[in-house]
Every structure is written in C-alpha cells, then in structure tokens.
Structure 1
C-alpha cells in the first residue's frame, strides 16, 4: 500500500465526495437489512394467519379474515418494494460521489503527470521510450483509478455491510449464523486465487496485443517498403504467428474465467443448503420460526457479493500499487536544468562559448571537447562537420536542452544558467534537423511559437521561408490540415514550414540545425537567398554538413570528432586548403556531376 499513500492528497482534496459516499453507503446498507426482516415478519405472519384462518372459516368469518390477512401481506410487499427502491436510489448516489471522485482524481493525475513530463529535460526522453511514457499516463493511471473508484466503493460496502448484517444475524441466532457463513471464507480465498490467475493471464494478453498492434502499425507505416521488396506473404505469415499467440493466450484466459461464476454459485448453494438444513432442524425443535430461515438465506445472498468482491478488490489494490510505483518512478525524476537567477530580459544575441565540453550522460559518448567560439550580436556563425562531429550538440546546449559537462556559454555577457529558461527559449528560433509538424493546419504550425495567431506574421514568415506560394496553391491555403508528422507536404515543403515556424516569433537568435538536408541544391539556394534577409541584424547559427549553407556566415568553425579543427571565414578557409576546402571541392564536384 505504501506507493498508494501519495494518492492521499487527492482523497483529501475530494474529501467532501468521499464522506458523502460513506454516508450513502451506510444508508444504502440499512435499506438492505430491513427488507430481510420484513420478509421474516411476513412469512411468520402468513404461517400464523393460516393457523387461525380455519377456525374463523368454521365460525363464518373466513372471507373477512382472509381480506384482512391479504391487506397486511400487501402492505409488507409495498414496504419491501419501497426499501428496494430507496436502496437503489442510494446506490445511485454512491456512484455519483465515489466514482465521480475517482474520475476527477484521474483527470488531476493525468494533468500532473503530463505537466511533469513537459518539465523534464531532453535526457529523460533519450532514456525512456515514448510507448512507456504513454502507458504510464494511460493504462497505469486507469488501474489506479480502479483502486480509487470501484475498489474503495466495494471495500466500504464490505466494511459497513459485514458488521451490520453479521451482528444482526448473531442477535437473532448465533448457531445458524455460524453454519450459514461457514463456506464464505472458502469462497473469498477461491475468488482471490482465480482473480490472480485472471490478472496474470490478462497481463500476458495485454503484452501480446501490444506486440500485435506494434506489428500492424509498422506494417502499415512501411507498406511502401513491404511492397517494394515483395514481402507481403512473409508479413502476413508473421502476423498470423503473432495472432496465433494472442488467440492461445485469450483461450487460456477464457478457461480460467469459466471457473469464476460456477465457484460462486456452488459455494452460495452449499451455504443455502446448510442454512435450510440447520434452520429446518431448529424449526422442528421449535427454536425458531419459518421466517428466520428465509431471512438468513437473504443475508447469505447479501454477503455473497461483498465476500466475492474481497478477492477482486485485493487484486485491484495490488495492480494499482504496481502501477502507482511505475508512476512514482517518473514523478520522482527531477529536472536538473534550472535557472539560478531567473533573469528575464530582451537579449541582443551576443554569444560567447569557452572551453565547452559535453558527455552524453546516458551513453557516455564525448560529443564536444574544449570548443570555443564567439558571435557578435547580429552576426552569423557557420558550423561545418561530418555526421557525429558534435554539431547538433552545440545547438542543444545553446537552447539549454542540456547543461555542459564543463566550460561556459554566455549570452550578452551573462552565463546561460542565469537566464529564465522559458524567457531564453522564447527568444531563440530553432529549426531542427528532423522536422516535426503537428497534425494541425499549416497556419497553426507556423504560429506555434506565437502567444496568439497573427495572420500577418504567419504570412510574412511563410514568404521569408519561400513557402508562401506553395501554401496558397493548396485549395484551403493556410487552413490546409497536415497529416501525421506533416505527411501531406513534401520533404522540402516541410523543411521550409519548419523554418517559417522558427522565424514567425521574430527571435533574437536563429539556430538552423542542418535544416536544408532534405532539399535539393536549387531549392537550397532559393532558401539561402531568402535567409539572407531573415538573418540580417539577427544572430544566426547555421549548422550543416554542406559547405554551401555556411557560405553566408561571417565566421565558420569546422568540427571533427567534437573538436574545432579549423576556423575563419569562407575565403581564409579556402586559402588554407585544409578540411573545409576539401569538403567544398568534393561537394562542388558532386553537385556538378549531378547536374551533368
């Protein structure tokens, strides 16, 4: 139960609903006991009535007496019906309080977890899979809700109904109480073991279904590759194999489920037989009336579901505790990227990097080693290097997605750690290498970084990124809805919409992380010419493996294995005839050969 203690703050928050639920449970159970007593009284009344009816009939008063007896039986029937209706009404109120409380807590939990996820650093997402993150905010929270709703509701019912019913049964007949309740502990233990089997097999089915869903998703996502390599039959065969595994596990669960109700009915039947037998012996002995047997049979049936639910509730609590443990693991993760002074001010964009080194904490790879450079406000820095040279790491450190292992980054003379994180990032426009567009309209994607959509800014950004004409050629223009990850657009269009999104918020610093890799040379030149206007009087960092992209920069650094091997402007680096000049010649020749 220890992992579930964290939920007490929610129970305290909604204590009003919980207390009302407890009150309604008590009242509901009172209306459960009263009908059983009425049944006993009614049966005893009928038995006694028949014993005096014959003498009255002989005296000529039989018809009148029968009518009076029937009126009393009718009154008993009406009272029992009223009690049942009142019980049903209060059961409705119990669900309206406790189940609604659990739904509200579920809502609060999901919001808390999602907000916590948003606050965690990029390193957290490198260590954990998206599927696992989603499972904890959906499936695990749902299991915890089952504890907060049905488990608490049935648990309260058990705690209130048991003392009420058993204490009353003992007051009526202790011996009959003992014999009638004898099979119930066996019932509870049986249900507990069956439930554990059901849960264990349900878990296996869930994992099998998850694997099946992943397989289908990959098959449909990669359908072009499957068709191109003529692997349809193999894929269908693999699917059939995964489907067979799911079928076998589902049948095994069905076999266990088949035990559930027979066990309940058998043990309830045994309890009823014992009650009738022992009660019958006591009736013959003159110790009790017929009505007591009927009353005790009703009590046994009343207690059957709470006892049955005991095993089920225990199982729910176990699963909720396991799920809450998983949720707590992520909630206990702390964001180590915090501001020291929370400086919030408009920056001019001067960047000074000194002896910057960085080792990825999860993999231990040294991405940067003693890197130093400086960019004046309004100037452009080009960062050139091959794949794995540490280019994108510099972008992540400038955005403060990570903190450096050693060295300092200063913006406008202040270390980056002193700035308020949100304020700093709002003033930086970032175009990532892997373009991600949301399943929304093109206009809303471009306006993503704005506090509120401004059509004029959206259109200007689209023009600057040379994507305006493409957008207005669509039938719905800026209202065109993009598919998943922007699948509606071509690679070049997605890249330019991503650039438009970065510049729409008019950032002081613009970081282009190899963002022209998906476009051809001609389109690249068009975008670069457009970027000349965008980058004017704005500090820009162009990261690329293409030398042509870096030609716009005032200063260029060449990275290799995390170290600066060359730096200078385009002309001085060409004159040095080093790594930069070699890359330029190779790429120029490759471009010419493609054009030929």
Structure 2
C-alpha cells in the first residue's frame, strides 16, 4: 500500500472534488438509512390495526427526521399514514439516487482527471530519460505501464475510493442505529463479519502476489506483439509466421493461466459474502423472531423488518469489500511498476545555470573515453580531435570502430567516462540540453519517420517553419522531385516509420529534416547507404554548396572522392589510426588506401 501514497498529490490537487464526493456519499447514505426506520414504523402501525393486537413495550431509536415524520402522522388516519409514508419512501429514494449521481460525477470524474495527469506525467518522464534507459527496457513494457497499469490505478482513485467511503458510511450508519435499537441483537446479527474479514485478508495476500506476476506477463505479451508488428516484413520474408504465432500463443497461454488462476481466487469473495449475508439474515429472523415473541423485549415486528432491511442495505457494501480490496491490491502492484520508472533519474541531466550562448561550430574532443555500461564494450579510447568552425571532417572505419558513438557523445546522448568534449571552448555538459541539441543537426544511421505528412516530417525539429524552408531543404537533399511526383506532394501522409517510402527516400527526407534547421554543426551518420551512385553524387554536390559556412562531420563506410574534406579520420577500436587529406592518406598506403582501391574496383551502379 505504500506505493499508492505517491498518488496523494493528485488527491490534494482535486481535493474539492474529493471533499464534495465524500459529502454526497454521506448524504446519499443518510437518506438510504432512513427507509428501514420508516418501514418499521409502518409495519408496527399495520400490526396495531390487526384484530387481537395487544399493546407492548417497544424501543425505537429513530433519526430526528424520522421522529418529525412520525409525530406529523399522529393526527392522521391509517390510510393517510400509509400513503404519506409511501410518498416519503419514494422521495427518499429519489434524493438518494440524485446524490449518488452527484457522487459519481465528482469522484469518478476526478479519477479520469487523475488518469489524464498521470499519463502525461509518465510520458513526460519517459522523454527525460536517457538512451541507456531505452536500451534496458522494451517498448512493450513502456507501453503497458502507461496504459494498463495507469488504468488499474484509475480504478483505485475512482471506484475503489468511492466504494470504500460508501462502505464506511453505510456500515457506520447501519451499525449506529442498530445498536441504538437493540445492542444484543446487533451483535448476534453481525457476528459472521469477523470471519468475513479474515477471509478477505487471506485472499488479498494471494491476489497481490498474482497481480504483480500478471502485470509482468502482460508486459511481455505486449512486447512480443509490438515486435511482431514492427518486424512484420522480416517475419514474412523468412516465412516465420507460424513460429511467431507459436511463441505468442505460449506467452498468451501463460498469461491466460495466471489470469484465470487469479479470477478463481477472486471468485471466493462473492460466495463468501453471500454466505455471510445469508447467515446474518437468518440470525436476524430467527433470534429477532424469538425476541419479538417475548413480552418486554422491546423488539416488535417493525424492529425485525428494520433489521432485515439494514442487513440488505449492508449486502452490497460488504460484498464490495472483496472487489474493492482486489482493485486496491491490483492498483498497488501497478503503481509499484509505475514508480520504478518515475523514480529513475536520467544519467544525462540538465546542468545548473545551464548556458544558452551562441554556438559557432568549434569542436574539441580531449582524451575522451567511453564504455557502454550494458555490454562493457569500450567504444571510444583516448580520443582527441579538434575541428574548427566551417571544417568538413569525414570519419571512416569498420563497423564497431566507435564512429556513431562519437556523434552520440557530441549530442550528449551519453557522457564520456573521462575526458571532455567542448564546443567553442565550453564543456558541452554546461550547455542547456535543449539549446545544444537544437544547434546541432544529426542524421542518424537508422532513419525514423513519423506517420505524418512529408512536410511535417521535414520540419519536425522546428516549432515554426515555412513551406519555402521545407522545399529548400528537400532540394538540398535531392528528394524534392520525387515528392512533387506524389499525389498530395508535401502533404502526402507516409505510413508508420515511413513504410510507404523506399529506403533512399527515407534517408533523403531525414537529411532534409536536419538541413531545414540551418544549424551551425551537422552530423551525417552513414546516411547515404540506401541511395544509388548517381543520386549520391547529386546529394554530395548539393551538400557541398549548402555546408560552405557550417561545421560538418560525415560518418561513412564509403569514400566520397567528389567531396573536398579538410581532414579524413580513420578509426579502429575507438582510436584514430590515420588522419589527413585524401591525397595524404592515399600516400600512406594504409586502411584508407585499401578501402579506396577496393571501392574503385566496384562497378558503378546503372541509373
């Protein structure tokens, strides 16, 4: 239950809705508890009209409102009394229903507001967490916590809280008036309830354990489905539909078995409730009937009817104990999972007194070392490099040599284990994160496009952009002609992850997205692997013109002989092994020369 304490801030935020809801529950229960007293009074009045009735002592602990109604009926005939009491019971039922409506309008609506706020809080927190977090956790689990877990928490802050408060007031009112009428009979009637409480405690312990396991299994099931949908092309290409179906069915069966097991445990509640309520009703009729036949007991037929109605009023609240307890236990398990992520602090944090000074484009890597915590792989080792404003640098190396890691370190997706990275002489850890990343454009190796228009995908990095800016960037990326050929041109909706486009089109739109920001520093991470040789030359020609006054770092596996780089860096095992201009590296006869000669031997792709 301690995990649910983190929700108290929401209760405080919506305290007036909660207070009003509690007030409406109180009023609703007050009107419902008057009906048994009026009914008992009417039955006693009917009994007095029966032949052979003999007056006897009776004890009535009527509510003040009921007393005023009783006193008002003293001077009316029997028919009028019955009609008046019937109208009163109808009016009480209407009032109770009206305040129950208000009760739900306050507390249940409050729970929807809390659900909205919590989802936004979780999503905002997800945005703040670093890349290491996303490497450790699956997308399906992230989705499950923000949907299924939040939904279960909503059931606690709404229905569970409402029923719990309703339960407290109903039992409080009923037991109070029952004790005032006949304490001994009350104790006998309520005697099965301690056994019921013990049953609830034992079953709740089991429910809590199983709820946590079910939520974990649901996360795994969601992850399996999400990966299957995202990788459907690969699944179909390798004819693995049946294998994936079998794998999903196994996970689904595990979830089903545990969910059914939990349902069976929960099924103990309602029969237990019905049994205890039945016993209480039986005791009321049996013992109450015996008392009613004893002169001087103070128990009348009306009292007996009143107690039976009290027991019936208690039926739903008491039976809801199990349901409410189950909702609370499930919510606690879900909130625990939510808190696990909300309590995580990102490794990459906004610095105090963060700088937002202009960035011109001078970059210095000073003895930088970095190792991936998840794998233990040392990606960058004692790396030092100075890049002056406006320089064009190519970084070449084998797969796993640390090229992409340098780009991610420059964007502060990770912080180096040791050494510093400076821009214009300032450590990047002192810059405002949003400011730094807004001034550095990055074209990633793995292109990601959103299911939106081409126009919005290109302008994604800007809060405000014009159509002219988008077209200019598309022209620089050599993709404008193809976009103009689409039926809706720049307003064409592309599918999820750009599935309706070719690999080359996606890469060029990603390049246009980086160029439209007009940054001082731009990083291209092997972003031309999916285009043909002719388009590659065209893009390089456009980029050479576009990047005249900008600092550019181009990470690649290919040699762009048409692009006049100021320096070319060759990396291996996270270190610089060769550095110089194209001509200098050819004379060295090292890896660069080998790569260049091998590339020259490859036949040029046909148009």
Cα gap change, 1:232/1:422 in structure 2, threshold over 3 Å: closer, same or farther?
A: closer
CA distance in 2, matches of 1:412, 1:223: 46
Q: Using the TM superposition, name which of 441-450 and 120-129 deviates more.
A: 120-129
- Provide the rounded CA distance (Å) in 2 between the counterparts of 1:517 and 1:471: 20
CA RMSD of aligned residues (A): 2.7
Q: 1: CA distance between counterparts of 2:48 and 2:535?
A: 102
Give TM-score scaled by structure 2 length.
0.89
Pick the aligned partner of 1:437 from 429, 432, 449. 449
CA distance, structure 2, for counterparts of residue 344 and residue 39 of structure 1: 76
Q: Which residue of 2 aligns with 1:548?
A: 560
Q: Which residue does the alignment assign to 1:59?
A: none
Alignment partner, residue 292 of structure 1: 303
**Which residue of the partner structure matches residue 399 of structure 2?**
387
- The one-character-per-residue Cα deviations of 1:568-588 (angstroms, maximum 9, x if unpaired) are 111111111111111111222
How do 1:257-276 and structure 2 match up within 5 A? 259-276=268-285
Q: Residue 13 of structure 2 aligns with which residue?
A: 13
- Residue 544 of structure 1: how far off its partner (Å): 0.9
Tell me the residue number matched to 2:493. 481
- 2:49 maps to what in 1? 49
Task: Determine the structure 2 residue equivalent to 1:506.
Answer: 518
Pairwise CA distance, 1:379: 1.4
SS at match of 1:11: helix
- Return 363-372 or 566-575, whichever deviates more: 363-372
Which consecutive unaligned segments of at least 5 residues does structure 1 have?
55-66
C-alpha distance in structure 1 between counterparts of 2:561 and 2:53, whole Å: 110
Distance 1:191 1:70, change over 3 A: farther
Partners in 2 of 1:49 and 1:324 — Cα distance?
61
Instruction: Compare 38-47 and 321-330 and name the one that shifted more.
Output: 321-330
Alpha-carbon distance in 2 for matches of 1:113, 1:375? 39
- d(CA) in 1 for partners of 2:80 and 2:281? 30
Question: Following the alignment from structure 2 to structure 1, what is the Cα–Cα distance between the partners of residues 111 and 245?
Answer: 42
2:38 and 2:85 in contact (8 A); partners too: yes
Which residue is 1:38 aligned to?
Answer: 38
Q: Does 1:301 align with 2:312?
A: yes
1:151 aligns with 2:163: no
1:313 is aligned to 324
Other structure's SS at 1:488 match: coil
CA contact 2:203–2:265 (8 Å) conserved in 1? yes
Rounded to whole Å, the distance in 1 between the matches of 2:268 and 2:333 is 26
Against the structure 1 CA distance between its residues 523 and 405, is the aligned structure 2 distance closer, same or farther, given a 3 Å change threshold?
Answer: same
Correspondent of 1:165 among 174, 194, 200 = 174
Higher mean displacement: 223-232 or 6-15: 223-232
The verdict on how the C-alpha distance between 1:257 and 1:158 changes in structure 2, with shifts beyond 3 A counting, is: closer
Alignment partner of 1:430: what SS? strand
State the shift of 1:135 in Å.
2.2
Closer, same or farther: CA 314–266 of 1 in aligned 2, 3 Å? closer
- C-alpha distance in 1, partners of 2:294/2:30? 31
Find the aligned partners of 1:325 and 1:199 in 2 and give their Cα distance. 11
1:77-156 pair list within 5 angstroms? 77-156=86-165
Q: More displaced, 213-222 or 516-525?
A: 213-222
Q: Matched residues in 2 for 1:111 and 1:550: separation? A: 49
Query: Displacement, 1:36?
Result: 0.8
CA distance in 1, matches of 2:223, 2:427: 45
In the alignment, the residues of structure 2 paired with residue 550 and residue 184 of structure 1 have an alpha-carbon distance, to the nearest angstrom, of 87
Equivalent pair of 2:525/2:554 in contact (CA under 8 Å): yes
562, 567, 579: which one aligns with 2:579: 567
For residue 84 of structure 1, report the CA deviation from its aligned partner: 1.1
How far residue 29 of structure 1 moved from its aligned partner, in angstroms, is 1.2
**CA deviation map 1:369-423 (0-9, x unaligned):** 1111111111111111111100011101111111211122221122212222211
Q: 1:76 maps to what in 2?
A: 85
Deviates more, 1:191-200 or 1:487-496: 191-200
Q: Which residue of 1 aligns with 2:377?
A: 365
1:64 alignment counterpart? none
Q: 1:232 to 1:415 in 2, by over 3 A?
A: closer
Q: Is the alpha carbon distance of 1:104 and 1:225 closer, same or farther for their aligned partners in structure 2, counting shifts above 3 Å?
A: closer
User: Unaligned regions of 5+ residues in structure 2, if any?
Assistant: 55-75
Q: Distance in 2 between matches of 1:526 and 1:157?
A: 73
Distance (whole Å) between structure 2 residues aligned to residue 453 and residue 339 of structure 1: 29
CA distance in 2, matches of 1:53, 1:172: 22
Report the Cα distance in structure 2 between the residues aligned to 1:361 and 1:552, rounded to whole angstroms: 37
Instruction: Indicate the residue corresponding to 1:351 in structure 2.
Output: 363
Contact 1:184–1:304 (CA<8 Å) still a contact in 2?
no
1:167-212 CA distance string (max 9 Å, x none): 2101101121112112233334445555666676666666666655
Secondary structure of residue in 1 paired with 2:459: helix
Larger displacement relative to structure 2 (340-349 or 271-280): 340-349
Whole-Å separation in 2 of the counterparts to 1:403 and 1:154: 50
Mapped to 2, the partners of 1:248 and 1:135 lie a distance apart of 19
Counterpart in 2 of 1:331? Answer: 342
Does structure 2 retain, via aligned residues, the 8 Å contact 1:383–1:550? Answer: no
TM-aligned CA deviation for residue 506 of structure 1: 0.7
Find the aligned partners of 2:40 and 2:364 in 1 and give their Cα distance: 91
Which structure features the higher share of helix residues?
A: 1
* Aligned match of 2:423: 411
TM-score, normalising length: structure 1: 0.91
Distance change (3 Å), C-alpha of 1:267 and 1:430 = same
Range with greater deviation from structure 2 (487-496 or 298-307): 298-307
411, 428, 431: which one pairs with 1:399?
A: 411
* CA shift for structure 1 position 163: 2.2
- Contact residue 192 and residue 315 of structure 1 kept, 8 A: no
Count of residues paired in the alignment: 583
1:537 matched residue in structure 2: 549
1:95 Cα shift? 1.3
Contact 2:277 2:315 in 1 (8 A): yes
The partner residue of 1:578 within 574, 585, 590 is 590
Contact 1:340–1:419, Cα closer than 8 Å, also in 2: no
